[in-house]
Homo-oligomer: A and B are copies of this chain.
Amino acid sequence: MTKFLDELPPREALVEVARDFHARGWMAGTAGNLSARADEAHFWITASGLPKGRLQESDFILIRVADAAVIERGRAELSPSAETAIHAALYELFPDTNACLHGHTVTACVATARTAAKATALRLPPLEMGKGFDVWEQRPRADLALFANHLDVARIARDVRARFKKSRPKIAALLVRDHGPTVWGTSLQQAYNRFEVLDFLLNYLARR
């Protein structure tokens, strides 16, 4: 636990983040997906249906950014989660993104339950913690992009792509209602830090 995450090989670092997030209740069951860019055109992502507290480095799949095609599997029987398409969209839209973390949190679900059903954004509270997303304003009015949940995850991915193509969000994160947050960063350490920051902000909203 002493090296910064980006000093570790990507899959080794993701195994560590997965164990950490699972222990915090952010990846209950087999929920969530974590990915890190392997090179300009590819990223490694956790395979579908595995318990995230017990991953090994062979539990990842290499995905092509351009079309979300599977390029390599750590083990033959692994398959990618439907949410892989959301990761691919983010890596393609934002070339400076090198890691993308998606979890399911009770705090996020409770915070969105208190938001109007049709809202497309969740106003983050004006706490100092907001600086963790590089919001440097006295009383920031920072909005987190909010998306409707769909059984068909490909549809969520299309919604994300359509909306973020028009304008890059100020907060490098999105929230799917009744589902959970996705946070990205220029490094895995940054994405990890910001996932914590977002949970702090949502936990505040849920407890206030």
Chain A residues with a Cβ under 8 A of chain B: 1-5, 19, 25, 28-31, 50-51, 53-56, 104, 106, 109-110, 113, 125-129, 132, 136-138, 149-151, 176, 178-180, 189, 192-194, 196-197, 199-200, 203-204, 206-208
Contact = CB atoms under 8 A, between A and B. Distances in A.
A105 B99 CA distance: 26
A113 B126 CA distance: 11
Contacts of A30: 132, 193
Nearest to A176: B128
A25 B197 CA distance: 10
B206 A28 contact: no
A126 B53 CA distance: 25
Contacts of A180: 128
B110 A137 contact: no
A178 to B, nearest CB: 5
Given A29-B197, A106-B204, A200-B25, A178 B128 contact: yes
A151 B139 CA distance: 8
A177 to B, nearest CB: 9
B113 A128 contact: no
Nearest to A150: B138
A199 B106 CA distance: 10
A137 B140 CA distance: 38
10 contacts: A1-B19, A2-B56, A29-B193, A51-B193, A109-B125, A128-B176, A128-B178, A128-B180, A137-B151, A206-B207
A106 to B, nearest CB: 5
Given A1-B53, A200-B106, A126 B208 contact: no
Contact of A54 (B4, B53, B149): B4
